Amino acid sequence: MKKIIVLLLLSPIFITAQVASVDFFVINDGMEEEYLEMEKVWVEFHKQMIAEGKMYGWSLFKVVSTSSEEGDSPDYMTLNRFESIEAMEAMWSDMNYEKFLKILKKKVKGKLSTRKIKKIVEAKVKKSHHSYVIEMTDQTVPSFEMEVGEILQVDAMIQQVDDYEGYETNIAKPILQRNVNDGNLKWWGLTKVSNRNDQALKEITHFTWQIPVEGKEMDWWSEKSSSIFGGEFAYGKLANLVGESRKVLGSGKLQLIMSEK
């Protein structure tokens, strides 16, 4: 259980909390059903933690597509939201396997035996597990809570300049906020990585998140967009600076399939 706790600790909807742990899982071939069975048991634990005010919410996403061409692409992502790093750490500070099982047994009383619970949560279903602790840096308004079935787009970023976050906030965000205001986008957020497990990619420094509007396209290059920065010439120069400030390591499209808040 100690190993499980550590992975989840380093393992967001979105993101009214200031801190989250995000986990990308590659599932062993032929074990997707067992993995989902495991999450259906684990969610009972998350429900209890949310009820006690120890976390804001938990969500499970299925990876629909990725831009990755090397290695195994993740199959699922989980998102755990907390008020702070301290709150996240406090939730696990006095937890052990016996307490964990006790919570689950109480939550699924009459549905699953202790033996069955242990068999489900201890099953070796994950081939790899990339885990990141992320902190909110900036976002559009209003904040947005996703519904099951909606799509989330994520980009993994590698910071190239010291003031990368400033480029996102001062140049990219005004365009994104205008698209939110115009109904082309539901929400955008920028998070920085503050911790990760050993399997996680060391190059990633930030993630950007977008919740698109079905049937709508983002307006990046119209006169309305360039006028925010004084015209096409100035906007083009600024857009180039944004592009030079970070490298996109990979992108993914994910669908929300389970959520508790």
Query: What pLDDT tens digit does each residue of the chain (261 aa) get?
Result: 333 333 333 333 444 458 999 999 999 999 999 999 999 999 999 999 999 999 999 999 999 999 876 668 999 999 999 999 999 999 988 889 999 999 999 999 999 999 999 999 999 999 999 999 999 999 999 988 899 999 999 999 999 999 999 999 999 999 999 999 999 999 999 999 999 999 999 999 999 999 999 999 999 999 999 999 999 999 999 999 999 999 999 999 999 999 998
- 83 closest CA partner among 148, 152, 12: 12
Q: How many domains does the chain have?
A: 2
Domain boundary among 104, 130, 156: 130
Tokens of 194: 């503050």
Please, which residues have CB within 8 angstroms of residue 149's CB and are 6 or more apart in sequence? 255, 256, 257
Strand 76-82 versus strand 246-260 pairing type: unpaired
**pLDDT at residue 19 in the model:** 93
Identity of the residue numbered 96: N
Domain boundary among 108, 130, 152: 130
Is 215 inside any structural domain? yes
Are both 179 and 247 inside the same structural domain? yes
Are both 74 and 15 inside the same structural domain? yes
Is 261 inside any structural domain? no
CA angle 137, 141, 146 (to 5 degrees): 90
Are both 118 and 171 inside the same structural domain? no
Are both 15 and 39 inside the same structural domain? yes
Are both 117 and 169 inside the same structural domain? no
pTM: 0.90
Strand 57-66 versus strand 246-260 pairing type: antiparallel
Domain boundary among 106, 130, 154: 130
Structural domain span for residue 35: 2-130
Half-sphere exposure of residue 118: CA atoms within 13 angstroms, side-chain side: 9
**pLDDT at residue 151 in the model:** 97
Are both 44 and 113 inside the same structural domain? yes
Is 96 inside any structural domain? yes
Are both 142 and 229 inside the same structural domain? yes
**pLDDT at residue 209 in the model:** 97
Are both 208 and 145 inside the same structural domain? yes
Note the residue count of the chain. Answer: 261
Separation between Cα atoms, residue 192 and residue 112, nearest integer Å: 39
CATH number for the domain that contains residue 7: 3.30.70.100
